[in-house]
Structure 1
Amino acid sequence: MELELRHLKTVRTIAEAGSLTRAATALGLAQPALSAQLRRIERALGGELFERGRHGVRATALGELVLERARIVLPAVSELQQEAVRFARARADRESERLRLGGTHGPLLGALVDLLAAAPDAQVTTHASWSERELATLLAEGRLDFAVTGACGTAPPPDVEHLIWQEFAVDPVFVMLPDGHPLAAAPEVELAKLADEEWACVPGDGCFADCFTVACARAGFTPGRMYETDVASCTHLVQVGRAVGLCRATFPTTPGVTTRPLAGTPLLWRHLLGWHPATQRAETAANVLTHARSAHADAAARSESYADWLAASGRPDGVLPRRPGREPDGGLP
């Protein structure tokens, strides 16, 4: 694992909070997810950064070294971002007729492009990435106008200090099964009954993998091998019975694949639209947000299993309630 700025921010937050519990709350993460992330950071840096005790955590000598460097690096990067925003604002004024849209893998990006491109004289370009943080960087640098991405549970989206992120839908996470799977005919699937399966999912740079592992632990098992790959490969692995997949409830109907809700809805996925307030007019953002909601509603209506789940849940309008205290981001097809 290569060290990233977000890792330095995590280390700084832990040091300032004085305990993993308080740091997890500040970062919007579950404590097990933060502990797992800290272990990965410590492995990358070659040693422990904090000593754990009854009264919290205290930085080791290595931790003090990392914190000293972080106090220099993080403000410098923040200043660079501010300069990039000023540049992006000027560039946006020159390119106001073109709409540059980014998104993670999934059906919503294409649906949103279709709606926006239908406007007279519309010029829409796209950039797809599995990395939510890359999309946030492109927004901050002025290289994208809007980004469609998501976050797991209550996890915060990237770069909230500089960007606006508006939630436009919340979906349960479904499981993808081959049509011949013994559980494919069930109205919903208990996670524990998939304990012996291998898994497939698109990659992401948030905490979805950690939260999935926590959900499996609560169901009484440790998940088997996870294949992180593109949407088409995930679908193929499910079709041939090599793995079961994790997907958003809006995943489109696909030959050979059955999608089913997980009993108890152990994982939620929040759809987000992001932009930089210095480079976008309020009326433009409102228009794109309206189209994003329409794109999600259309995708939900085309998914038979999702429509059935919404009807059974008493939410035919597709609106899911916010559930505080859910684990936290990552990627889903």
Structure 2
Amino acid sequence: MRHLRVLCAIADTGSLHKAARQLGLAQPSLSTQLRRIERALGAQLFVRTQAGCRPTPLGLAVLSRARPLVAEFAAIVTETRAAAARAAGGFRLRIGATASRAIPGWLRLLRARPGPAPALQMNVSGNALLAMVAAGRLDMAFVHEVEGSPLRIPPGLCLRVLVEREPQFVTLAADHPAASQPELSLADLAGDRWMVDSTVDGEWDGLSRVLRAAGLNPEMLHGDYLTAYSLAATGEVVTVSQPTAHPRPDLAIRPLKGDPIGVRLLLAARTEAELDEVYTELEEAYWAVAREAPAYREWLKRAEPRGARDGRAMPARWATAEGPADALT
């Protein structure tokens, strides 16, 4: 396994010097190890040039077999250490997440358990978080997947769907002419500029597709959502928002007719047992903030009977025996 890690490090860095530094070795020692590996296999695996090292065709074939083995071994080590720490009472859960109002409540519920408090790492990129889970740098990730822009799910990850399709609402100034309506069409915003955080996986492409499908070609600005909300409050832009967004007196949060923009909410981990360990708390936290969001609460009241008529699957939290009206009180 050590030899396979050496080959992967050289290929990843493209340099014996950089690979040696990554592995904590002296470069001459790494060069000696590479020669031994090549002698053992009976073939040259890398071409050395002034620009660095690049795999030979045979080297590429070896690497294609080596990478999954190295990743699987790393996962075994990570999971074994985590299990040992959990058994000893010293395990600290490492959670990654894209932005969601459910995060504070989820952490509060998890911190109420005995043992160390979980650690949180936020990132705008769901793809980056999923890669960190696969590499063992995080235990799990709560991410959103923009409709039409699927995330890259690394092999071996287990997924749990919290919400199959969460509608995305629009945020605009409270005194915007369209804000008097309880539900908007994209045509109502034809004269507005939009601001979108293009660093969030799929957001720019997803909104662009929806606007084109509606026959609109508005000016679109790049910006983080904190800036977008500030500009929306002054009427400079409109922006997409999660339906759980907290209401503000200077902003109006409205659903869009036909729900043209949607995301899927996913929890990912390396094992089903890890998902089982935290999913109930995440579900509870999410629906708690959903009940606190007036626009989303009203949307769910309308959507539940509509979903029952046309066969659309509604979130389980709202399809209980008590019915949506009781669930929302």
Fold match, TM over 0.5? yes
In the TM superposition, 1:147-166 aligns within 5 A as 147-153=141-147, 155-166=149-160
1:223 equivalent to 2:218? Answer: yes
In the TM superposition, 1:240-255 aligns within 5 A as 240-255=234-249
Distance 1:126 1:80, change over 3 A: same
For 1:180 and 1:303, the matched residues in 2 are separated by: 20
Aligned residue number for residue 213 of structure 1: 208
For 1:115 and 1:316, the matched residues in 2 are separated by: 33
Aligned residue number for residue 252 of structure 2: 258
In the TM superposition, 1:64-103 aligns within 5 A as 77-96=67-86, 97-103=91-97
In the TM superposition, 1:62-141 aligns within 5 A as 77-96=67-86, 97-141=91-135
Larger radius of gyration: 2
For 2:65 and 2:296, the matched residues in 1 are separated by: 45
For 1:316 and 1:119, the matched residues in 2 are separated by: 39
Aligned residue number for residue 194 of structure 1: 189
Letter in 2 for 1:99: L
SS of the residue aligned with 2:130?
Answer: helix
**C-alpha displacement of 1:252:** 1.5
Aligned residue number for residue 289 of structure 1: 279
Letter in 2 for 1:172: P
Letter in 2 for 1:193: D
For 1:315 and 1:248, the matched residues in 2 are separated by: 22
Aligned residue number for residue 263 of structure 2: 269
Letter in 1 for 2:161: E
User: By percentage of residues, which structure has more helix?
Assistant: 2
The superposition leaves residues 196-220 of structure 1 with CA deviations (integer Å, 9 ceiling, x where unpaired) of 2222233445333222212111111
Matched residue pairs, number? 249
For 1:287 and 1:295, the matched residues in 2 are separated by: 14
Aligned residue number for residue 232 of structure 1: 226
Compare relative contact order (CA 8 Å, sep 6+) and give the higher one, 1 or 2.
1
Letter in 2 for 1:116: L
The superposition leaves residues 283-318 of structure 1 with CA deviations (integer Å, 9 ceiling, x where unpaired) of x4213111111111011101001111122234599x
For 1:245 and 1:303, the matched residues in 2 are separated by: 17
For 1:215 and 1:152, the matched residues in 2 are separated by: 12
Letter in 2 for 1:245: T
Structure 2: gaps spanning 5 or more residues: 1-56, 315-329
**C-alpha displacement of 1:101:** 1.1
For 2:192 and 2:67, the matched residues in 1 are separated by: 43
Q: Is 2:134–2:154's contact at 8 Å kept on the other side of the alignment? A: no
Aligned residue number for residue 144 of structure 1: 138
The superposition leaves residues 233-283 of structure 1 with CA deviations (integer Å, 9 ceiling, x where unpaired) of 222121122211101111122231111001111111111111012xxx62x
1:313 equivalent to 2:303? Answer: yes
For 2:220 and 2:134, the matched residues in 1 are separated by: 36
Q: Is 2:130–2:154's contact at 8 Å kept on the other side of the alignment? A: no
Q: Is 2:290–2:297's contact at 8 Å kept on the other side of the alignment? A: yes
Q: Is 1:88–1:141's contact at 8 Å kept on the other side of the alignment? A: no
Distance 1:203 1:130, change over 3 A: farther
Distance 1:150 1:245, change over 3 A: same
Distance 1:95 1:114, change over 3 A: same
SS of the residue aligned with 1:123?
Answer: coil
Structure 1: gaps spanning 5 or more residues: 1-67, 324-333
**C-alpha displacement of 1:141:** 1.7
Letter in 1 for 2:218: P
In the TM superposition, 1:21-40 aligns within 5 A as none
SS of the residue aligned with 2:264?
Answer: strand
For 1:225 and 1:269, the matched residues in 2 are separated by: 20
Distance 1:295 1:265, change over 3 A: same
For 1:180 and 1:104, the matched residues in 2 are separated by: 30
Distance 1:76 1:196, change over 3 A: farther
For 1:265 and 1:129, the matched residues in 2 are separated by: 26
**C-alpha displacement of 1:125:** 0.9
For 1:120 and 1:86, the matched residues in 2 are separated by: 26
Q: Is 1:172–1:269's contact at 8 Å kept on the other side of the alignment? A: yes
SS of the residue aligned with 2:141?
Answer: strand
Distance 1:129 1:95, change over 3 A: farther
SS of the residue aligned with 2:258?
Answer: coil
SS of the residue aligned with 1:180?
Answer: coil
Aligned residue number for residue 20 of structure 1: none
Distance 1:103 1:123, change over 3 A: same
For 2:223 and 2:65, the matched residues in 1 are separated by: 34
**C-alpha displacement of 1:81:** 2.7
Letter in 2 for 1:265: D
